[in-house]
């Protein structure tokens, strides 16, 4: 099982070269400093989720014949990304608005082998007694119009006494390797066109999403056939 741990830059507000119809959203200097302080609790909460997922992976590796987890990825949204999302929601670009309205500042992603593993992993995360699941979105059973498939949970985490009992949301996405490949491609295309993807590319991405879903099903069928042969 491989693991990718990455944190987006929080020392500045530099951006990626996007095709934008208007200037990038930005925090004022005072709000930017407040945001940096606010992100400390998110990093601590994300570390707790990282530990839980690592423990889950170790359990699978020790007691399951085939570990369904391929790898993990972790990230804290960059200030520019946070500012963009606040503007998209018509909210003030302030640290207070970010903390009050965004549930995906801290994020973890679990990449698994097959679609059937997604619900199993979600059930285990949901059963953690010290996590409170405040939101779930099943884009596997009901994909987005774009073709996007993934399972999203938002868990409220208590980072400890240093934060006076505060809780902090961490978004956990669970998807297969094939779903992740599609999502990565769609993200690149969307950034290339500043969020306004041409119709012909949108249709092509939707078709690819359907093909990838079929591939997931067929690969799982092959895995089941192999297991039958080995019995």
What are the beta bridge partners of residue 173?
A: 109, 152
The tally of domains found in the chain comes to 1
Question: What pLDDT digit, counting tens, does each position of 140-174 carry?
Answer: 999 999 999 999 999 999 998 999 989 999 999 99
Q: 């590796």: which residue's tokens?
A: 61
**Torsion angle defined by CA atoms of residues 103, 104, 107 and 108, in that order, rounded to the nearest 10 degrees:** 70
- What are the phi and psi torsion angles at 75 (to 5°)? -160, 155
- Helix (H) or strand (E) segment spanning residue 87: helix 79-88
Domain extent at residue 81: 2-230
DSSP code of 4?
E
Q: 């693991």: which residue's tokens?
A: 3
Among the options 8, 33, 96, 171, which is catalytic?
A: 171
Q: What does the block give as tokens for 228?
A: 């039958």
What pLDDT does 93 receive?
97
Query: What does the pLDDT profile of the chain (231 residues) look like in tens digits?
Result: 555 544 443 334 543 334 445 678 899 999 999 999 999 999 999 999 999 999 999 999 999 888 999 999 999 999 999 999 999 999 999 999 999 999 999 999 999 999 999 999 999 999 999 999 999 999 999 999 999 999 999 999 999 899 998 999 999 999 999 999 999 999 999 888 888 899 999 999 999 999 999 989 998 888 888 878 776
What pLDDT does 1 receive?
55
* 227 carries an active-site annotation: no
What pLDDT does 101 receive?
98
pTM of the model: 0.86
Task: Identify the CATH number of the domain in which residue 13 sits.
Answer: 3.30.460.10
Question: What pLDDT digit, counting tens, does each position of 38-64 carry?
Answer: 999 999 999 999 999 999 999 999 998
Smallest CA-to-CA distance from 97 within 34, 40, 156 is with: 34
Q: What does the block give as tokens for 5?
A: 């741990």
């Amino acid at each position: 099982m491989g693991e990718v741990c990455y944190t987006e830059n929080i020392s500045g507000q530099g951006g990626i070269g996007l095709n934008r119809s208007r200037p990038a959203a930005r925090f004022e200097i005072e709000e930017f400093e407040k945001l940096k302080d606010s992100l400390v609790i998110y990093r601590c909460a994300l570390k707790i989720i990282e530990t839980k997922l690592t423990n889950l992976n170790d359990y699978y590796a020790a007691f399951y014949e085939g570990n369904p987890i391929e790898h993990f990825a972790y990230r804290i949204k960059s200030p520019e990304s946070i500012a963009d999302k606040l503007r998209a929601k018509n909210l003030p670009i302030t640290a207070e608005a970010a903390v009050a309205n965004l549930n995906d500042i801290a994020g973890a992603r679990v990449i698994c082998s097959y679609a059937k593993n997604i619900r199993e992993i979600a059930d285990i995360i949901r059963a953690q007694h010290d996590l409170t699941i405040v939101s779930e979105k099943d884009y596997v059973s009901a994909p987005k119009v774009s073709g996007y498939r993934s399972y999203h949970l938002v868990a409220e985490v208590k980072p400890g006494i240093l934060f006076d009992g505060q809780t902090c949301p961490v978004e956990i996405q669970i998807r297969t390797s094939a779903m992740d490949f599609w999502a990565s491609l769609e993200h690149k295309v969307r950034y290339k066109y500043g969020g306004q993807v041409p119709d012909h590319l949108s249709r092509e991405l939707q078709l690819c999403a359907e093909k990838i879903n079929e591939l997931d099903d067929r690969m799982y069928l092959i895995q089941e056939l192999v297991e039958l042969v080995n019995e």
